[in-house]
């Protein structure tokens, strides 16, 4: 690859050239005249394409609400995380850092947890002390993505500010975004110097901390022996009803014959 040095840079396909953006710099290379792919190579390319598409949806869902600048390699890192965990295993992205240099565990030694009812619990704990950092701005971003329809169905945010010299009693935030799809929760923490965020990336973190797949309705099947017993009872009930109906019909016929007048014999 060659580095782009012009004032106007590009990414993607442009004629017979392909542009790339890596680690804050733009590169380009020429397209090959022909591509020979084995079956394994073709499958790998398809997996990468599907993972890249899924990662793009995830990044786009958080892009407007993240205040922490992502590192230059976060696109490739997210793609690799999805491929390694499996395309259908979205929970594998839990723990992904948008800024690989700092994680939220630097500020919260006891990790937050997401309950099944959509409540994010941040346990009580002692907050760390950093030189020049007076408060921590904590922002929760919850988004719901329907990967089947390839769209974001909803996003909500909540923010709290914690004094580093004050006791933190814990917090509980409702992050159950309504709608269809997978719930993905990101936690962003910024060390604040007075009224502004620190410029040091060591005090800026944004991690995906929880993923909750949509719940499917459970179908309970009765055991086979119970079904056979119920069928046997049903057949017995039908047989009893048929026998009772036959007896009633016979009794009615006999009563009719008993009450009928005897035949009259006429002499010639």
Instruction: Give the tens place of pLDDT for each residue, 178-195.
Output: 989 999 999 999 999 989
- Asked if the model's pLDDT at residue 203 lies above 80, the reply is yes
Q: Choose between 158 and 237: higher pLDDT.
A: 158
pLDDT (average), residues 109-120: 92
Q: Measured between alpha carbons, how far is 153 from 222 in angstroms, rounded to an integer? A: 36
* Domain spans, the chain: 52-212
Question: CA dihedral defined by 138, 142, 147, 149, rounded to 10 degrees?
Answer: -130
Least confident of 83-92, 114-123, 238-247: 238-247
Q: Measured between alpha carbons, how far is 202 from 191 in angstroms, rounded to an integer? A: 9
Residue 267: per-residue pLDDT: 45
Residue 256: per-residue pLDDT: 57
3-class secondary-structure state, position 28: strand
Give per-residue pLDDT as tens, 204-254: 999 999 999 987 655 555 555 666 667 667 667 766 665 566 666 666 666
Residue linked to tokens 């782009």: 4
Least confident of 4-18, 157-171, 193-207, 209-223: 209-223
Q: Measured between alpha carbons, how far is 160 from 114 in angstroms, rounded to an integer? A: 17
Q: Choose between 21 and 111: higher pLDDT.
A: 111
- ∠ CA 229-234-238 to the nearest 5 degrees? 150
pTM to 2 decimals? 0.69
* Two tokens, residue 22: 């890596």
Q: Choose between 137 and 220: higher pLDDT.
A: 137
Answer for the pair 67, 197: CB distance below 8 angstroms, yes or no: yes
Q: Compute the mean pLDDT over every residue in the chain, rounded to the nearest whole number.
A: 85
* Two tokens, residue 56: 């793009």
Report the share of the chain in percent with pLDDT over 90: 55
Residue 39: per-residue pLDDT: 84
């Amino acid at each position: 690859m060659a580095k782009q040095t012009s004032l106007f840079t590009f990414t993607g396909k442009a004629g017979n050239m392909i542009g790339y953006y890596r680690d804050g710099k733009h590169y380009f290379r020429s397209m090959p005249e022909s591509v020979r792919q084995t079956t394994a190579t073709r499958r790998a390319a398809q997996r990468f394409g599907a993972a890249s598409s899924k990662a793009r949806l995830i990044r786009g869902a958080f892009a407007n609400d993240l205040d922490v600048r992502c590192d230059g390699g976060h696109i490739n890192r997210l793609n690799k995380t999805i491929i390694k965990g499996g395309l259908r295993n979205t929970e594998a992205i839990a723990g992904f850092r948008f800024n690989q240099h700092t994680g939220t565990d630097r500020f919260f030694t006891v990790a937050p947890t997401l309950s099944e009812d959509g409540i994010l619990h941040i346990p009580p704990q002692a907050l760390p002390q950093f030189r020049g950092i007076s408060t921590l701005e904590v922002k929760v971003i919850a988004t719901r993505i329907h990967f089947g329809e390839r769209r974001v169905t909803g996003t909500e945010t909540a923010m709290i500010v914690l004094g580093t010299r004050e006791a933190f009693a814990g917090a509980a935030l409702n992050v159950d975004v309504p709608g269809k799809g997978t719930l993905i929760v990101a936690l962003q923490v910024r060390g604040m110097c007075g009224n502004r965020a620190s410029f040091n990336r060591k005090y800026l973190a944004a991690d995906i901390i929880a993923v909750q797949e949509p719940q499917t309705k459970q179908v309970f099947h009765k055991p086979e022996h119970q079904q056979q017993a119920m069928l046997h009872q049903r057949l017995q009930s039908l047989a009893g009803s048929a026998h009772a109906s036959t007896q009633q019909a016979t009794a009615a016929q006999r009563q009719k014959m008993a009450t009928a007048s005897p035949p009259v014999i006429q002499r010639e």
